[in-house]
């Protein structure tokens, strides 16, 4: 799968991408649990997009890291497509 082919609402996304940059994680409290979330810019040969990193994923990646998304999900926020692992997906560091 390629970034240029992704559409909002699409699930079962399996792909490898490179992290270009990552914002500082923000903390949140939801349903009585706290966690952290960060946005990262990712790219492949076809383009770039934002990826949402949750909790321990924020510590796994840094700029230049190649990651594999398994069963990811594409959402839309403020008109921009965003990739996330969601509840059922996984993120694996390739290098």
- Which tens digit of pLDDT belongs to each residue from 4-21? 999 999 999 999 999 999
- Which tens digit of pLDDT belongs to each residue from 40-66? 999 999 999 999 999 999 999 999 999
Domain of 25: which CATH number?
2.40.50.140
| Domain span holding position 83 | 3-93
Looking only at the bridges linking them, the beta strands covering 13-22 and 90-93 are unpaired
Cβ atoms within 10 A of the Cβ of 40, count? 23
Q: How many structural domains is the chain composed of?
A: 1
């Amino acid at each position: 799968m390629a970034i240029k082919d992704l559409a909002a609402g699409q699930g079962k996304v399996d792909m490898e991408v490179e992290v270009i940059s990552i914002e500082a994680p923000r903390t949140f409290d939801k349903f009585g649990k706290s966690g952290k979330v960060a946005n990262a810019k990712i790219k492949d040969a076809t383009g770039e997009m934002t990826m949402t990193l949750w909790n321990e994923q924020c510590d796994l990646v840094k700029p230049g890291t190649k990651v594999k998304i398994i069963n990811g999900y594409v959402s839309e926020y403020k008109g921009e497509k965003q990739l996330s692992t969601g509840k059922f997906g996984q993120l694996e560091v390739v290098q």
